[in-house]
Amino acid sequence: MQIPDLPEDETLRLSNLRSLGILDTDAEERFDRVTRLAQRMFDVPIALVSLVDESRQWLKSCLGLEIREASRDISFCGHAILGSEPFIIPDASLDPRFADNPLVTGPPNIRFYAGVPLAYGDGTKMGTLCIIDQRPHDLSGQDLEALVDLAKMAEYELLATHIASVDELTQLLNRRGFIRQAQHQLTIPYALTETFSLVYMDLNLFKPINDRFGHDEGDRALRQFAALMQENFRSADILCRLGGDEFVVFMPGIDLKTAKQVIARFKRTVEQYNQASLHKYDLLYSAGFAVTDSAERKSIDTLLKEADQSMYVAKQQNPSTDFK
């Protein structure tokens, strides 16, 4: 059995995939509609919208299988995302890459597989629309065109999720996308024993930047602050521009003491940026904290309110050193 290679852009690919906030979410009619069409058009028992995570293949839409995920190492879709063209296996039992694959030698006894990669806006591959049968198949050129058209429908829905969840200026999550992702993090089974910290950051003296240098420069300051966040927080952290000059970081597995240490390091990074910058202003901010654990599992709305109140107190006390 051949384990699929990792794409060259794997780190970016995973970051893009997770920014969609769609992993481990409930089935949705907009994706099931696509797999129903594929199942009927090609007369196959199995049709999937499959997303390839770091170590698993997770099924956003699944017709014909009882599972929702499988190991990436044995997945056909892990191979399909390595290219841009449809990935076709007419008879897996005759293909040396897959003949001894447990999905071929045992249930669901795959023989035919056809998967079309689903691309993010920058071209990275999130997963596939794929059809599967226990009988060998060949696809005509017309069939391939139809499958690609269906894949474009699924791809559009993925990108629509992104557009609705991401702040256009900074490319961080917006409020809607953040609440969806963070609340999901709090409720998935493996997270029930974890501690989560939320940091609420509000830029200080931001209005004078707009007033003195113009709104284009204000937008540039917001984008730069967002870029510093993306460079300095973990890939597991959920970053958000709530609106205006307010930003949030949601940190899984981080207690309050550690969160304050993380923000202290971030403060030093921002100070270094200010020292090196040629701008006539500094990026300054106040930060507030909130935490939840297994003993008291708070909602995201509650955490946001608590962290906002904490930030306001800090801003009143000292807008430059309030988070120490």
pLDDT tens-digit series, residues 81-102: 999 999 999 999 999 999 999 9
pLDDT tops 80 at residue 152 = yes
* Residues in the chain, total: 324
Q: What is the pLDDT of residue 321?
A: 43
φ/ψ of residue 15, rounded to 5: -60, -45
Q: Percent of the chain beyond pLDDT 70?
A: 96
Beta bridge partners of 119: 125
Q: What is the pLDDT of residue 221?
A: 95
Confidence category of residue 188, pLDDT binned at 50, 70, 90: low
Q: Of 165, 183, 199, which one is at a domain's C-terminal end?
A: 165
Q: Is residue 170 part of a domain?
A: no
Q: What's the burial of 318, exposed, middle or buried (CB within 10 Å: 0-12/13-18/19+)?
A: exposed
Nearest CA to 75 among 47, 95, 56, 97?
A: 56
Overall number of domains in the chain: 2
Same domain? For 193 and 308 the reply is yes
pLDDT tops 50 at residue 323 = no
Q: Say which DSSP state 53 is in.
A: -
Q: What is the pLDDT of residue 219?
A: 96
Same domain? For 132 and 233 the reply is no
Same domain? For 161 and 22 the reply is yes
Same domain? For 151 and 193 the reply is no
CATH number reported for the structural domain that contains residue 19 in this entry: 3.30.450.40
Return all residues near 11 (Cβ < 8 A) that are at least 6 apart: 235
Same domain? For 157 and 200 the reply is no
The DSSP string of 142-178 is HHHHHHHHHHHHHHHHHHHHHHHHB-TTT-SB-HHHH
pLDDT tops 50 at residue 271 = yes
**CA geometry: angle 112, 116, 119, nearest 5 deg:** 155
**What gap in Å lies between CA 270 and CA 282, rounded to an integer?**
9
Q: Is residue 47 part of a domain?
A: yes
Note down the domain range covering 15.
10-165
**Average confidence (pLDDT) over 107-111:** 97
CATH number reported for the structural domain that contains residue 203 in this entry: 3.30.70.270
- Full-prediction pTM beyond 0.75? no
Buried b (16+ CB within 10 A) or exposed e, 71-89: ebebbbbbbbbeeeebbbb
Same domain? For 156 and 38 the reply is yes
Dump strand ranges (E) for 163-235: 196-204
Residue 115: both structure tokens together: 């998967």
pLDDT tops 60 at residue 282 = yes
Secondary structure (H, E, C), 87-151: EEECCHHHCCCCCCCHHHHCCCCCCEEEEEEEECCCCCEEEEEEEEECCCCCCCHHHHHHHHHHH
Q: Is residue 1 part of a domain?
A: no
Q: Is residue 94 part of a domain?
A: yes
Q: Of 165, 196, 214, which one is at a domain's C-terminal end?
A: 165
Confidence category of residue 189, pLDDT binned at 50, 70, 90: low
Same domain? For 82 and 195 the reply is no
Q: What is the pLDDT of residue 24?
A: 87
Same domain? For 51 and 88 the reply is yes
Residue 266 near residue 259, CB atoms below 8 Å = no
Q: Of 109, 138, 165, which one is at a domain's C-terminal end?
A: 165
Same domain? For 16 and 52 the reply is yes
Same domain? For 41 and 114 the reply is yes
Confidence category of residue 295, pLDDT binned at 50, 70, 90: confident
**What gap in Å lies between CA 278 and CA 163, rounded to an integer?**
33
CA-CA-CA-CA torsion for 181, 220, 310, 315, nearest 10 degrees?
A: 180
Q: Is residue 324 part of a domain?
A: no
Same domain? For 116 and 187 the reply is no
Residue 23: CA count within 13 A, CB half-sphere: 21
Tokens 């309050």 -> residue: 256
Residue 76 near residue 97, CB atoms below 8 Å = no
- At position 11, the amino acid (one-letter code) is T
Q: What is the pLDDT of residue 180?
A: 84
Same domain? For 158 and 203 the reply is no
Query: With left for phi above 0 and alpha for psi between -120 and 50, is residue 64 left, alpha or beta?
Result: left
pLDDT higher at 24 or 232: 232
